[in-house]
Structure 1
Amino acid sequence: MAETIQLTRGQVESAMRAAMTMDAIVGRLTYDEEFAKDLSSDPRGTMEKAGLSFDKEGMDSLMTMDSKRFDSAAEALFNLVDSEFLYKVAGPSCDPL
């Protein structure tokens, strides 16, 4: 029997923003070499400049709400960025990169 998961409207909206952000980054990486180069050297700054951002709550909600979509988007993203990308994006801003 499938488990029913209850999310608030805010969590659903946050999950959808996270999914759209991941999709936008993947899409842009496929055609914009300058964006890819900048994302590799300064992920946070590049994403901020492009109006794209992740938040932990949104990613958590997306994983809960639609784990297949999250897995698919994450796989596509990580096939296009270096292995340090997630660390650079997820680490506290005061951490050295």
Structure 2
Amino acid sequence: MAETLQLTRGQVESAMRAAMTMDAIVGRLTYDEEFAKNLSSDPRGTMEKAGLSFDKEGMDSLMTMDPKRFDNAAEALFNLVDSEFLYKVAGPSCDPL
């Protein structure tokens, strides 16, 4: 018997925001060279200026709710940014970049 996921409404909403943010970043990286350069040097600041953000809980919820979508978005993103990108933007704000 398949196990049923039990996510709260907040977790689902957070997961959807994370997915949309990842999609928006991937899309913008394909046409905006200045955004790509700034994202590389200051990921949090660049995302904040662009109105984009996600948190660890949202990423965790997305991985639980729709692992295939997370994997596809992460693969597309990793083809455009360095491998430390998600850690830099999803870690607590007190973590060193």
Superposed pair shares fold, TM > 0.5: yes
* 1:17-53: CA deviation from partner (whole Å, max 9, x where unpaired): 0000000000000000000000000000000000000
SS at match of 1:40: helix
Change (3 A) 1:55 1:90: closer
Cα 1:8–1:78 shift into 2, 3 Å: same
Using the aligned pairs only, state the percent identity. 96
Residues 65 and 34 (structure 1), Cα distance of their counterparts in 2 relative to 1, 3 Å cut: same
Instruction: List 4+ stretches of structure 1 deviating above 6 A.
Output: none
Q: Report the RMSD for the aligned CA atoms in angstroms.
A: 1.3
Q: How does 1:52-67 map to 2 (within 5 A)?
A: 52-67=52-67
Please, what TM-score do these two structures have when normalized by structure 2?
0.91
Q: Which runs of 5+ in 2 are unaligned?
A: none
| TM-aligned CA distance change 1:82 to 1:31, over 3 Å | same
Unmatched tracts of structure 1, length 5 or more: none
TM-score (norm 1): 0.91
